[in-house]
Amino acid sequence: MLDLATRGEFARHRRLRRSEGLRRLVAETRLSPSDFVYPLFVTHGSAVREEIPSMPGQFRISIDQIEAEARELAGLDIPAVLLFGLPSHKDPDGSEAYDDSGIVQEAVRAFKRATPDLVVITDVCLCEYTSHGHCGIIVNGEVDNDRSLDLLARTAVSHARAGADIVAPSDMMDGRVAVIRDELDAADFPSTPIMAYSAKYASAFYGPFREAADSTPQFGDRRGYQMDPPNAREALLEIEDDIGEGADIVMVKPALAYLDVLTRARDEFDVPIAAYNVSGEYAMVRAAEANGWIDGPRVTMEILTAIKRAGADVIITYFAKDAARWLRNAR
């Protein structure tokens, strides 16, 4: 064996793994707080800071808590937040979604007052606001694509008017990026970017989120509009269409079970790609960690590194604050 080595007949891959310094020097993927977007749930009321049972460490907060939240994020060098709202009432048309004094609109203003440089992204969807819990309008028992577009566009424009830096439609209606782009332009927001949830799968990994945002469909499910998990080529079509309609950033969601889709999208398209490390992925790590079955921080960093290695430019993750802290302490 030694003879083979001396003759150079096999390579010594281990040479560059011998110390932390060597490993750092040749690391192909490096995480930074700049990679992260922190998702956050905002709710009516005051002095609310309510932990979400299936997402330990994540909270629903009221507007008066935003200033402290904004400073914490800025202090951790996290560039962006993604907002979800819990409305004071729900109705079939999801009217608080596009109300200029709705919960998300107020939260946007509070963030922009506290930390004008923090990028505020808003989730554009109706499911948290509709009494039936679907992402669009129901006509004859079905989510009606075209009738939902106008309300989604109104929501996006209302968010832009409140000061949102990016709007992020997550509803999966066909044509919504085009209609939102048109309406933003018509309302004098030609410079507001769209981050489209382009390849969004009908996933069981959203379970904890639906508890957090109270957005579980009251009948049926989302398989009639979100993507079917077996399909990857179709994801590329969705992404291509969204870019054609005017999306500035496209997204693959969830992240972990769809890293192949992320890599294929990376190879095919040159726009920035976001990956959403969703609520179920967060909950699994936290639950296993709480049982002492895994090393939570190491598993988390491995997951986030994998998402970046697969091709994500932007990682939306509930781990953003923890990971930013760990990255800082590691130096």
The stretch among 112-120, 137-145, 177-185, 202-210 that binds ligand PBG (CB under 6 A) is 202-210
Name which of 201, 171, 323 is nearest 262 in CA terms. Answer: 201
Please, what is the minimum distance in Å from the beta carbon of residue 195 to ligand PBG?
A: 12
Site membership for ligand PBG, residue 317 (CB under 6 A): no
For residue 42, report the phi and psi dihedrals to the nearest 5 degrees: -115, 145
Q: Which two tokens stand for residue 311?
A: 């091709």
In this structure, what is the dihedral angle of CA atoms 77, 275, 207, 235, given to the nearest 10 degrees?
160
Please, what is the minimum distance in Å from the beta carbon of residue 135 to ligand PBG?
A: 5
Positive or negative: CA dihedral 121, 122, 123, 124 = negative
Please, what is the minimum distance in Å from the beta carbon of residue 61 to ligand PBG?
A: 16
Q: Which of residues 201, 206, 225, 258 is near ligand PBG by CB under 6 A?
A: 206
Q: Is 324 left (phi over 0), alpha (psi -120 to 50) or beta?
A: alpha
Catalytic residues: 200, 253
Site membership for ligand PBG, residue 210 (CB under 6 A): yes
Please, what is the minimum distance in Å from the beta carbon of residue 278 to ligand PBG?
A: 4
Site membership for ligand PBG, residue 106 (CB under 6 A): no
CA–CA distance, 234 with 251 (Å, rounded to integer): 14
Q: Which is nearer to ligand PBG, 94 or 311 (CB)?
A: 94
Q: Which two tokens stand for residue 264?
A: 């294929």
- Given a contact cutoff of 8 angstroms between Cβ atoms, the answer to whether 53 and 98 are in contact is no
Count Cα atoms within 13 angstroms, Cβ side, for 110. 22
Q: Which two tokens stand for residue 149?
A: 């577009």
The stretch among 69-77, 110-118, 186-194, 207-215 that binds ligand PBG (CB under 6 A) is 207-215
Site membership for ligand PBG, residue 315 (CB under 6 A): no
Site membership for ligand PBG, residue 209 (CB under 6 A): yes
Site membership for ligand PBG, residue 327 (CB under 6 A): no
Residue with tokens 């079905």: 142
Secondary structure of residue 61 in the 3-state scheme: strand
Q: Which is nearer to ligand PBG, 95 or 114 (CB)?
A: 95
For residue 123, report the phi and psi dihedrals to the nearest 5 degrees: -75, 125
Binding residue count for ligand PBG, defined by CB under 6 A: 12
Do strands 36-43 and 55-62 pair parallel, antiparallel, or not at all (unpaired)?
A: parallel
Contacts to ligand PBG from residues 108-137, by CB under 6 A: 123, 125, 127, 135
Please, what is the minimum distance in Å from the beta carbon of residue 131 to ligand PBG?
A: 15
Q: Which is nearer to ligand PBG, 61 or 115 (CB)?
A: 61
Q: Which of residues 148, 170, 192, 317 is near ligand PBG by CB under 6 A?
A: 170
Please, what is the minimum distance in Å from the beta carbon of residue 31 to ligand PBG?
A: 19
For residue 37, report the phi and psi dihedrals to the nearest 5 degrees: -120, 130
**Is the peptide bond between 193 and the residue preceding it cis, with omega within 30 degrees of 0?**
no
Between 176-186 and 233-245, two packed helices, what is the crossing angle to 10 degrees?
Answer: 20
The stretch among 10-18, 208-216, 229-237, 239-247 that binds ligand PBG (CB under 6 A) is 208-216
Contacts to ligand PBG from residues 13-72, by CB under 6 A: none
Interface residues with ligand PBG (CB under 6 A)? 123, 125, 127, 135, 170, 206, 209-210, 215, 222, 278-279
